[in-house]
A and B are shown apart, each in its own frame.
Chain A
Amino acid sequence: MEIRDVPCPFCGCLCDDISVRLEDNRITGVENCCTLGNAKFLSKSRLQHPIMRKDGKWIEVTYEEAIDETARILSDAMRPLLYGWSGTIGEAQVVGVHLAEEIGALIDSTTSVCHNPSILAIQEVGHPGCTLGQVKNRADLVVYWGCNPIEAHPRHMSRYTTYADGYFIDNTATDRKVIVVDIRRSDGAKIADEFIQVKPGGDYLILSALRAMVRGKDEVVPDSVAGVEKVQLQRVADLMMKAKFGAVFFGLGVTMSRGKYKNVRNAIELVSELNRKTKFTISAMRGHFNVYGFNEVLTWMAGYPFAVDFSRGIAFYNPGETSVIDLLERKEPDACLVVASDPGAHFPKSTIEHMASIPTVQIDPCVNATTALCQVQIPVAITGVESAGTAYRMDGVPIRMKKVIETEFPTDQEILERIVTRIREMRSDG
């Protein structure tokens, strides 16, 4: 059997043209997918039972025991942290937000450690963007800044930008120019019409120089900026101003390098400025397939895209204070629930040490680096393969993820709902 048009639950591209071949409820082949998505569809290793630590050793437990223990941990906590969310569907995230509200928890997502600065910049100056199809049909100039789509979003170029067929583009090879800005000559740089090799930490300067040029103030730009020749910047500024439709895509090279949200703000303001001359858009290359969905869900429910603290009885948002790394650095949380992410693999050592020192529970299909920090792990169905629900693509387009194979494993949503129910029972028992 073959199921077509399956959305891929790997990255923010949410490619929805995947074909999955099935035999006896097992995936035997995947078509149209990149290697990253392919590996997820075909992965075989997973945790088979809920596990808990007892006397320093893992023991297998029932779902009921694991849920009971999780509910007890969260109920007893004074400062619970609910973290992760980007690898699951909106319907489960909704339960998470309601849970956070109910127990006065702080809820944050992987956004906090990737495009957090992008959101801060957007909250200062806005976001001139568009859906990816708009770029596909119209863009004659694409700029990849501080990101490497070939490695991280392998089908981004073929589906939405450089190599995609577009209504207003006769010949993708000749009618579209590509600019790549990076600190190293990545694979993407090799296909660029202009590659700007910026010195590490120099993005802000390059953006400022380009802004000056777009405003016609070339004379204020020195001969060399952050290791880039002025003549090259002039060529690039010209390309930008002459484009009919330019699209900038940026990654963590902009958000997490020196300057952080100020870099993104500068990039957005460059794009806003370019709109006075022509058409330009800017978009973040979001990582997890539903990282943007969590931002959407938390925003319509609580008013903010990430880092919301419910402990004051209202939704309180102050990144730098209520963002997960800052909270853990202050060693505030006394319990932690991790859902659909792997902070153990990505967080600074000091924060991981704190997570390991408090009761931490993980809801995830697989053993990962975070497992080592946990007291409890509850395995679940693989979202987008074994369970259906809503995900938001990096450009905000919502897509329904499919269930392609049957499973005995419960979904994230079911486990979270059972935890909420159990917490209410415990509270009413006094």
Chain B
Amino acid sequence: MAEILLKNAYVIDPISGINGEVMDIAISGSRIVEDASPHSEVIDCQGLLTLPGGIDSHTHTSGTKVNFGRYMSPEDMRAGRTSKKGHMHITSGYSVPTTYGNSYRYSALGYTSLVEGAMAPLEARHTHEEFKFTPLQDSFANALFDGNWGMLRAFEDGDIKRAAAIIAWTLTAVKGFAIKLTNPGGTEAWGFGKNISCINETIPTFDLTPAEIIKGAIKANELLHLPHSVHLHCNNLGTPGNFSCTIGTFGHVPDVNDKRQSLYATHVQFHSYGGSGWGDFCSKSEPVANMVNFRPQIVIDMGQVMFGRTTTMTADGPMEFNLYRLHHDKWSNHDVELETGSGIIPVNYRRKNLVNSIMWAIGLELALLVKSPWQCLLTTDNPNGAPFVKYPEIIALLMSKKYRDAEFETVHQDTEKRVPLPAIERELDWHDIAVMTRAGQARALGIIDLGKGHLSPGAEADIAIYPIKPDEIDPSAEYEKIIQGFAQTEYTIKRGRIVSRRGDAIIDGENTTFWVKPKVPAAYDMQHDTVFQELFERYYSVRMSNYPVQEEYLHRNHCIETETDL
């Protein structure tokens, strides 16, 4: 069993209440332990910033839509080629890297766990296949339920328990981790080329509104005692004036869980827009952030936009079509029967474009205006706002007003009339960043008890050591050093093994897939429910027996069994 002693580490471990203490960390096997064995390999960290391994609570790295982003974009593949080196395989891709590319580059940034933000249940096998080739990070998959016919019918009938039972069966079958709703109702409407304008509009094919779906899913989620809350991509993404829809959605969220939030709203930057059209488009980060500040039951992530080329991909099919009509570049769409949709288009966010400049500002504003870093996590909705390799720059922007001002000089000149960013003085500190990139994610995902996101004895030895000496840097002024420091760890340790050293992956690695299995009483076991079976018999294009993801796809995995109130 490998044993490592990290000496003189400058540790920030928010969950354990450690903030900038120089200390030793002992590792035995895959776990952090109290005391080092005398046989330990000693690594002198020399006061370098040492954090729990990074956790991305919303990213798109694996599965049907991600792979189609690669498939349709040879220009993006050419933009990020690396050759074979030691244990590292060849990689391709800039905004949508190949699986190995994702894994190596995330590892170089100190990330050890990734949540795939949107897995279509019917195509779950594909996501799990790609997880296998993302070897240096643990994997979690949010399963899409926004247009799930079984669940929607149960909501229509007002039967929350039945909806919960269908969610439980599906999550277990597809080895998913959490309930994802993407534009609830909108993806179903897109099946006939329509969309839903906001949360109180009835879906054309079901007697339900998005608000009812969201409220029902939150209830079902708690009946199943799932570790994570409902993970929501709000309706109306990307349209001017959508902030009112976002705030309306947040207003419906009850506070029903004392360990974590009751709703995780993702990439809220894309949902904080004012104006009645593109002409008067503006930031509404302030009312959205205020709403979050008053509602501890909500956690959001930024969905920060950074300038440059990237690829947008989401289950929100109608939104991608609208984006296509703006950009006129190539457009892919992939509706998934009885479940959800998806779309992909490439974009180039430009500093000289007013709308893009405002979007860039809004993400930062949300992070700066939401008071608690536990309630606003750092993401780009990779790769939608920007590829994840931009995270170090985002950290620097949040820590340095000077850097923000310098960048603001380069964006569209009318931006300042439309956004509050220049007036915001706040600069986040190291602890805030540690919360927003790992501890907050662990709490929001409900995986602290699994040893994630902290460094106390018993925790998984997932650790990132950055070439940054916090006592010797003034982040406010020396933002270049922040960018460099967070761009490449000295060491990334995963499950007690050094997996990345100064940017190079040094072992093959093997990840763990975390999935949930709610314990459902026989009366609610959908496997034997004839009405549920009929969905497969009559409307799915695969047999019910061939639908569940088989054990063969799981290799190393951790099943989280939950007690339920059914």
Contact = CB atoms under 8 A, between A and B. Distances in A.
B276 interface: no
Given A122-B72, A303-B92, A310-B90, A5 B331 contact: no
B67 A299 contact: yes
Contacts of B442: none
Given A279-B191, A295-B71, A165 B538 contact: yes
Contacts of B344: 126
Interface in B435-489: none
A77 interface: no
Interface stretch (A193-201, A329-337, A390-398, A418-426): A390-398
Contacts of A101: 84, 89-90
A314 B81 CA distance: 7
Nearest to B544: A5
Interface in B162-199: 190-193
Given A90-B129, A123-B73, A398-B126, A160 B546 contact: no
Contact of B90 (A119, A125, A315): A315
Interface stretch (A52-60, A132-140, A180-188, A342-350): A132-140
A16 interface: yes
A139 B327 CA distance: 28
**Interface extent on A, as a size class?**
35 or more
A133 B334 contact: no
Contacts of B337: 130-134, 136-137
A17 to B, nearest CB: 6
A296 interface: yes
A397 B127 CA distance: 11
Contact of B98 (A5, A126, A300): A300
Interface residues of B, number: 61
B543 A17 contact: yes
A162 B130 CA distance: 34
A130 B89 contact: no
A317 interface: yes
B335 interface: yes
A72 interface: no
A278 B67 CA distance: 27
Interface string B522-566: 000000000000000011111101100010100000000000000
Listed residue (A160, A165, A301) with the most chain B CB atoms within 10 angstroms of its CB:
A301
A304 B541 CA distance: 28
A305 B70 CA distance: 9
B151 interface: no
Contact of A400 (B98, B193, B330, B552): B552
A305 to B, nearest CB: 5
Main secondary structure of the interface of A (DSSP, over half): mixed
B92 A302 contact: yes
B191 A134 contact: yes
Contacts of A126: 72, 324, 330-333, 344-345
B126 A396 contact: yes
B42 to A, nearest CB: 33
Interface in A310-346: 310, 313-315, 317
Nearest to B75: A123
B332 A127 contact: yes
Contacts of B130: 300
A117 interface: no
A123 B538 CA distance: 35
B338 A137 contact: yes
A260 B538 CA distance: 37
8 contacts: A16-B546, A127-B68, A127-B332, A137-B539, A167-B149, A275-B333, A313-B90, A398-B126
Interface of A: 4-5, 7, 16-17, 90, 94, 98, 101, 119, 122-134, 136-138, 159-160, 165-168, 244-245, 272, 275-276, 278-279, 281, 295-296, 299-305, 310, 313-315, 317, 388, 390, 392, 396-400
Given A275-B321, A317-B77, 13 more contacts: A16-B546, A126-B72, A130-B335, A133-B542, A160-B541, A165-B538, A167-B149, A272-B324, A276-B325, A279-B190, A300-B129, A301-B89, A303-B74
